Structure 1
Amino acid sequence: MGYVLKYHCFLLSAMVLLPAWCYSQDFICSRATYYGSPDCLGTPNGACGFGEYGRTVNDANVAGVARLWKNGTGCGACYQVRCTEPQLCSDDGVNVVATDYGEGDNTDFILSPSAYGSLATEDKSDELFDYGVVDIEYRRIPCRFAGYNNLMVKVHENSNHPHYLAIVVLYVAGQNEIEAVDILQEDYNEWRPMRRAYGAVFDMENPPRGRIILRFRVRGSMGQTWVVANNAIPSDWKAGAAYDTQIQLS
């Protein structure tokens, strides 16, 4: 498997998306391809703003999506993807995390080489890479991250304490999506909305001084709700640091 990935990591498909709408039980039919990079991982400058997290999370089984990206709300969503070529594809396929935007040839997924190779049975991955684009079916599944039970926020490297704060929302578990983020202005007892800068990155000029209290508008299997993190970010926050919100989403 390692040799196959090294050989195919430099190939790249980037064409126009024309989504398929075909349903098989609770799966949706589409197509998938894979991207190439010298180290077989994605770019740290992906459209979701995840940085290294977007390259390595989920054992590097990640994907770029277009229609499912949903202006960034779809960043971090998890999917089961399986190809449909007889005698070539495994029964379960692979579980992937959407960490970037990407358009392909009638595809909904541009998979990392690791994820694409995992679509095949153990001895057929080389043949699968030769296809380049394959028919698939996929479904949304709950996200689960080994060792991470709580929602995390990372202070983006471009932040400048105390004048500018940008955060990246990480480890959104279950089938939930973060639609909005607010900061509490405690002296006025008022919630101020952060701007979705791009992907999973939210920012604000001149954030409140002191500890940062956040609330997240979450949409998931239970509908839409606001969830408050009273100690999301300490008063002495630093660019590049990640903080545990103590919020569990399922």
Structure 2
Amino acid sequence: MIYNVIGGACGFGEYGKTVNDGSVAGVSWLWKNGSGCGACYQVRCKIAELCDENGAYVVVTDYGEGDRTDFIMSPRGYSKLGRNTYASAELLKYGVVDVEYRRVPCRYGGYNLLVKVHEHSRNPHYLAILILYIGGTFDVTAVELWQEECQEWRRMRRAFGTVFDAENPPRGDIKLRFQLSGNAEQYWVQSKNVISGDWEAGAVYDSEIHLG
């Protein structure tokens, strides 16, 4: 694991810097072509005299790749590996430490899955959405929008991370459904709300889907 500063290849932007109080990480093979964005992990280091037994709880907000590393952690996340302030300072001197980790449910108290219209979207010709607050241990593996004129669901393209897009989206209100993968199962769930036909870049819609 490498101690570093996280950017935001998931598309989370400022949210990626502030989620989980800044305890975030970039990952390599856990990235899963972007569907690993937003996943939560308990990470513990293995230096007995310095490392806290509970370790750090981090949220994946980036793609990170380094020499023999699984996690590239934010300064705040990395510091939580230590037993105390002194131990955290000593760990910083290592820079790279051996860790063990496990996927844990994400806990977003009071938040349902949200859909944010990406800043590059242009109504009515191009729609890109960013998915936020994916609770539990679920990954969003696909998104579809409803085509009223032909009565069928149309697959959106995963642009990168948790950003999905579509050229020439349907006019009027837009219905979405999400393919969820987790707990050895995969299924579709439809948003209870729609994206209004007058959507603008930056608008946020509550799906009213709670994943815990």
Q: TM-score category by the smaller chain?
A: over 0.9
Looking at structure 2, the residues matched to 232 and 65 of structure 1 have their Cα atoms a distance apart, in angstroms, of: 32
Distance 1:182 1:239 in 2: 19
Counterpart position of 2:113: 151
- Large movers: runs of 4+ above 2 Å: none
Preserved CA contact (<8 Å) 1:33 1:116: no
TM-score when normalising by structure 2: 0.96
Q: Which residue of 2 aligns with 1:214?
A: 176
- Identity %, equivalent residues: 60
Find the residue that maps to 2:36 and give its secondary structure.
coil
Picking from 136, 158, 161, the partner of 2:99 is 136
Contact 2:193 2:205 in 1 (8 A): no
Q: Which residue of 2 aligns with 1:35?
A: 4
What is the Cα-based RMSD across aligned positions, in Å?
Answer: 1.1
Structure 2 residue identity aligned to 1:34: Y
- Confirm whether residue 59 of structure 1 aligns to residue 21 of structure 2: yes
CA distances 1:95-140 after superposition (whole Å, capped 9, x unpaired) = 1010100112211000000000000011311100000000110000
Check if 1:248 corresponds to 2:210: yes
- The one-character-per-residue Cα deviations of 1:22-53 (angstroms, maximum 9, x if unpaired) are xxxxxxxxxx22114xxxxx33xx21111111
- Give 2:194's aligned residue: 232
Long gaps (5+) in structure 1: 1-31, 37-41
1:208-239 C-alpha deviation (Å, 9 max, x unpaired) = 01111001010111600000114231111110
Q: Is the 8 A contact 2:177 2:191 kept in 1?
A: yes
**Aligned counterparts of 1:129 and 1:232: Cα–Cα separation in 2:** 46
| Residue 193 of structure 1 pairs with residue 138 of structure 2 | no
